[in-house]
Structure 1
């Protein structure tokens, strides 16, 4: 465990070799994002193409995983097949806790298996198991069969698996973690598919111990009481992130109809309130979390004439509701659940899939592409057609769907329609608050809205200038990269202030890291940007598609002069940072 040692497990799929390495020096990078970034550099991941067998996949926990509430995430770092540069995804579920109980702080996977395999990793063993019978199966069937055959440590294991989209090389295929969580967005699932790695089972049936410390007990209770007894995290437990739908809609910030609008006529039908009142069946928490932000809805579908029904439990959140709801003008929550369920089974990234279909629908309307290209006529709000289209996207059934599987902008460059592609580095997240959010996602190191919270600045800033915006972006990036090195859930960003972060580090013996936390945050930022630029990213080439300047937001229609100035200032900061 991080407190006493740092254990790095290396697995070579090509030669089926396993090596355990002790790396206490990685504590200098705290853990999580920081330590994985340093290891990625050492492995020369930035010099190896994403599709190369040697390209590494790194999973990292952090020193506070399982030690304090909401320190629940695992960070994965890799070279993204989607962008060709920095790939970083975070996932919850059981994985962080299970890795700790398996005695693994970082897991490195390289090579390519000769045939499909899945890994079973325990405290003292690694097994390579034949996965040919699983290849081609959907995410849920794969999980069910693995649970059937791998009986060990039920409840203390984590199962990662990919679906057909990843096997076929869709560039934004994700990795399902414990059914309801994911490593999404930048194509980690695609890399696993390239390596013929269908699944990873981590078994945590050992124990861990870091000594008795009265200060720790007192501090844990302080944090716990804030989690369960204050309003800091109430939103996430009550309605969850779908609580955002109606407020964003009311301030013209809910992306709708491929960003043609920012208000959706049927927003109440797909709101967090509607889901909770009519479809919510349970809430789930990641291991080590008291919040329970994973909201699961009941999808009930008739399959026979004599009132024969099947039911499926589907997790939902704001990003999925936006991408497969308002962005496609899906009018009911039940239909949104159908689309989410299809995305999950196929192993696609939900945000990218929804945005890609929105672009496709508009491109068909405009005559830029035809039904001959798509093989299907898509219309806003036509859920049954969108269900078919998702299948075609995952299986890459023809040239058009193959290209769309490279990303929305890849298809737009080939067919036309770049001006209305809702892409900010990758397909946009569910906020149309204004130019600071647009720039912060387009120029973020992993193109994530959560890393710098530009959407928050758009809504709350009193001094709304490019200079103030850049200062805010840098400050949040520094703070949040330390949180993702611990590894904290970013929903706890209001809970874990700098003072509490430093106290948590000090209590486990990381006094030096506590004293230098801000400086370490800047070093991690510098390293990530250096590696991203080394892989070909050029901050001077960032462009915001025309659509974003045409559509009303909370801040009105974005001012091109303001936006371009912020882009140039941000690019200058990146270049200065990595000198």
Structure 2
């Protein structure tokens, strides 16, 4: 069985395919293989926005074969924090890569003018994109779908003006409602003059043991659709966590100055579902429909004429552009989400950057001269909309600093103690306790999706856990997700794919692995990612933790800095890094 990697060189305008069965045999697929390709392709010390910095896309051995195995991983050197960039997206991209016959794609070099890549089975073309350069990410998809073939088995990914202008937390929009959001892949696209990539394919996928495959497929499908394992993701979706975390005092509010929001009910998932939900959509080969699309109706004439906009929303976006900015209306949050979508920038980072700027203005660290007259205030939707445009345009020195991320902005203007980033990545929507803080700090992406430390805190709120127990849980989840993200499945379905089910699913497609094999692989993948991080300058012992985490009550009460320091020490010892 060929395990094909497609290499595309934008400098030379050429491509070729290699069988890399060696990589897939050892590293399975997905993030395991993509990490190795990044280590191969990215020279040490490379500028993330230089032609020498590669982009890697990878899918897993179960992609397009099992329900909820829907994700594509991208690895790159992050322009936001200067080390490992790793991001995931759903939509149709994974399916399209599978049907095009490519389990990984490596993009090298940079084009001399705006371009986009068209991949259809084995045919690869680098096409002129000058006519769509500067066009919002939300519009580019509509243009390319009329130009490119492959309806039904096609994925269109693209950047907006934020990526073109090298905003360091710019993302890549995938099939309208999904994203490679975190750590700045959109800026890497922009640095290569790469506006978009279209992938489609017509190949079939064969399995070596159809009977065994059907049995495990049917078992997994029934678990997904006929049990409550994923029900909440279809109904209210992740925004159900707004009210839950608010009640637990874990919902970051006004730049983490509070952990509960007086207007949480107004912007809750329940209110959005009752009053704004337009439809639900699914990633390719997922029956759940967890992508919630809100409808925003706005008047543009006194003669009862309206514009209807369809905007996807989830918990993280409502936190970042809602409670964290003190925004009290669903309409305001949807407006801000759409602004980020249009510009193609990460909503989490944008919300954290704007929250820091609002507090910095309150404290006199910056002035309205810096903000070009904008008196940024909590719940000031119009002001925030204007600030988003100014950030992308890099209108002056201040907005250029904001485009670099909250770490750079706070180094320049002050306010480091309330610049909410860990590992150089703006933090997600949890202030639950020490496990969340440590988990975000030690995670390979500095993301809640690395090890779900917030969930460990919630368990600790019900039953006391020692620092050792919390660290062990973080490590176990870190390693387990290395395997799961090599398959690559949606993390919402991780409860469905137990170790036993993973082994059986892999066996049905001709890959035999034991429990011990997977445990060893998970540790190895984690270590390889850290090898890249350390090689590029990351030092866990020097990790900065904003003082604000220790000033605001969390789900488990006030967090003691000594507890976090103790857990970090235990973590390094457990990993053998002490």
Which range, TM-score by smaller chain? over 0.9
| Equivalent residue, structure 2, for 1:272 | 269
Q: Which residue does the alignment assign to 2:535?
A: 534
CA contact (8 A) 1:102 1:204 kept: yes
Q: Distance in 2 between matches of 1:440 and 1:549?
A: 16
Q: Which runs of 5+ in 1 are unaligned?
A: none
Listed one character per residue, the Cα deviations across residues 136-170 of structure 1 (whole Å, up to 9, x for unaligned) are 111012112112222x1112210010011111111
Report what 1:561 is aligned to. Answer: 562
Q: Which stretches in structure 2 are left out of the alignment for 5+ residues?
A: none
1:131-210, aligned counterparts within 5 Å? 131-150=129-148, 152-210=149-207
Match of 2:104 in 1: 106
- For structure 1, which segment, 507-516 or 256-265, has the greater mean C-alpha deviation from structure 2 after superposition? 507-516
Report the equivalent of 1:497.
498
Is 1:37 paired with 2:38?
no
- Counterpart of 1:435 in structure 2 is 434
499-508 vs 226-235, which moves further = 499-508
| Maintained 8 Å contact 2:503/2:513 | no
Distance in 2 between residues matched to 1:45 and 1:199, nearest whole Å: 25
Quick one: distance in 2 between partners of 1:45 and 1:69?
37
Q: Secondary structure at the match of 2:48?
A: coil
> Which among 337, 340, 346 is matched to residue 343 of structure 1?
340
Tell me by how many angstroms 1:493 deviates.
1.2
Q: Does 1:456 find its partner at 2:425?
A: no
CA contact (8 A) 1:503 1:514 kept: no
Residue 93 of structure 2 corresponds to residue 95 of structure 1: yes
* TM-score (structure 1 length as normaliser): 0.97
Aligned to 2:17: 20
CA contact (8 A) 1:539 1:574 kept: no
Cα offset, 1:233, TM superposition:
0.3
For the 8 Å contact 2:499–2:515, the answer to whether it is kept is no
After TM superposition, list the pairs within 5 Å mapping 1:124-523 onto structure 2.
Answer: 124-150=122-148, 152-375=149-372, 376-425=374-423, 426-461=425-460, 462-512=463-513, 516-523=517-524
Q: Using the alignment, how far apart are the partners of 1:369 and 1:219 within structure 2?
A: 59
CA distance in 2, matches of 1:373, 1:111: 36
Rounded to whole Å, the distance in 2 between the matches of 1:450 and 1:128 is 34
Aligned-partner SS, 1:21: strand
Give the whole-Å Cα distance in 1 for the aligned partners of 2:536 and 2:53. 13
Paired position in structure 2 for 1:62: 60
Q: Deviations over 1:254-287 (max 9, x none)?
A: 0000100011111011100001000001000000
- The CA distance in 1 between the partners of 2:524 and 2:351, in whole Å, is 35
Query: Per the alignment, do residues 261 and 320 of structure 1 end up closer, same or farther by CA in structure 2, a change over 3 Å counting?
Result: same
Asked whether the equivalents of residues 86 and 445 of structure 2 are also in contact (C-alpha less than 8 Å), the reply is: yes
- SS of corresponding position for 1:373: coil
Q: CA RMSD in A?
A: 1.2
Quote the Cα distance in structure 1 between the aligned partners of 2:43 and 2:62. 26
- Give the Cα–Cα distance (whole angstroms) in 1 for the partners of residues 513 and 12 of structure 2: 40
Provide the C-alpha distance between the structure 2 equivalents of 1:44 and 1:249, rounded to a whole number of angstroms. 42
How far did residue 25 of structure 1 move? Answer: 1.1
CA contact (8 A) 2:59 2:487 kept: yes
> For the Cα contact (< 8 Å) 1:59–1:76, is it kept in 2?
yes
Q: Give, in whole Å, the separation in 1 of the partners of 2:20 and 2:101.
A: 13
Separation in 2, partners of 1:571, 1:191: 32
Distance 1:421 1:21, change over 3 A: same
What is the CA deviation profile of residues 204-246 of structure 1, one whole-angstrom value per residue up to 9, with x for unaligned ones? 2332222452111011110000101101001101110001000
Contact 2:207 2:213 in 1 (8 A): no
Deviations 1:285-320 (A, max 9, x none): 000111110000001111112111001100000000
Contact 1:10 1:18 in 2 (8 A): yes
Distance in 2 of aligned mates of 1:233 and 1:130: 42
Is the Cα–Cα contact under 8 Å of residues 59 and 103 in structure 2 kept in the other structure?
yes
SS at match of 2:495: coil
Q: Quick one: distance in 2 between partners of 1:125 and 1:173?
A: 29
Q: For 1:468 and 1:46, how far apart are their aligned partners in 2? A: 36
C-alpha separation in 1, matches of 2:547 and 2:201: 50
> Which residue of 1 is the match for residue 69 of structure 2?
71
SS in 2 for 1:544: coil
User: CA, structure 1 residues 31+514, in 2 after alignment: closer, same or farther (shift >3 Å)?
Assistant: farther
Per the TM alignment, residue 570 of structure 1 is displaced from its structure 2 partner at its CA by 2.4
CA contact (8 A) 1:359 1:421 kept: yes
Whether the 8 Å contact between 2:324 and 2:355 is mirrored in structure 1 is: yes
Aligned residues: 573
Deviation by residue 1:325-374 (Cα, 9 ceiling, x = unmatched): 00011111111111100100000100000110011001001111000001
* CA distance, structure 2, for counterparts of residue 573 and residue 467 of structure 1: 9
Are the counterparts in 2 of residues 529 and 574 from structure 1 also a CA contact under 8 Å? no
Q: Greater shift after overlay, 433-442 or 206-215?
A: 206-215
User: What CA distance in whole angstroms lies between the structure 1 residues aligned with 2:206 and 2:145?
Assistant: 28
Q: Matches of 2:544 and 2:464 in 1, distance apart? A: 25
